Structure 1
Amino acid sequence: MDGEDDRGLGVRPLRLLYLIFCRLLGRLLLLGRSTAANNAEILALRHEVAVLRRQIARPQLSWADRTVLSALARHPPYAATGSSPRAPC
């Protein structure tokens, strides 16, 4: 068991350094890209979202579903109204 603990401690710093290196390299590559490359990626992502939206069918709601959703919509969560459901301590 002691051998496993020693090996794990040596791997963790290497993995952390590897992850930091990958993130830094990714940031540097983003800085070197042109505006045209960024625009092309945005267009490709928008097209992908449009395709995915076409594949999702809208759910068929019953009258009971609509009633519950309308009741929930009338009462926003406490975080949105700024009030608290219980008294502060």
Structure 2
Amino acid sequence: MLFYNRAHLLHALCEYARHHNAHRPHRGVANARPLAPLPEPITEPATLARLDVRRRDRLGGILHEYHQAA
């Protein structure tokens, strides 16, 4: 990845740190994100059939975050 200047580099580092600490699951701690509790599991078959997952690209598509749409 090429950076135009120091501000661009700092933006990319902050964006990655935000993704790493707030969104990305961590395998070592039961897939819990460091700054958020685990969500409740979905066990109802009707709810599983209606899941609508949306992807959000960060850093121009280098990072991907997935969320369930409301």
Fold conserved between structures, TM > 0.5: no
TM-score range, shorter chain: 0.3 to 0.5
Greater relative contact order structure (CA < 8 Å, 6+ sep): 2
Structure with more strand by fraction: 2
Q: Which has the larger radius of gyration?
A: 1
TM-score of the superposition, structure 1-length normalised? 0.32
TM-score of the superposition, structure 2-length normalised? 0.39
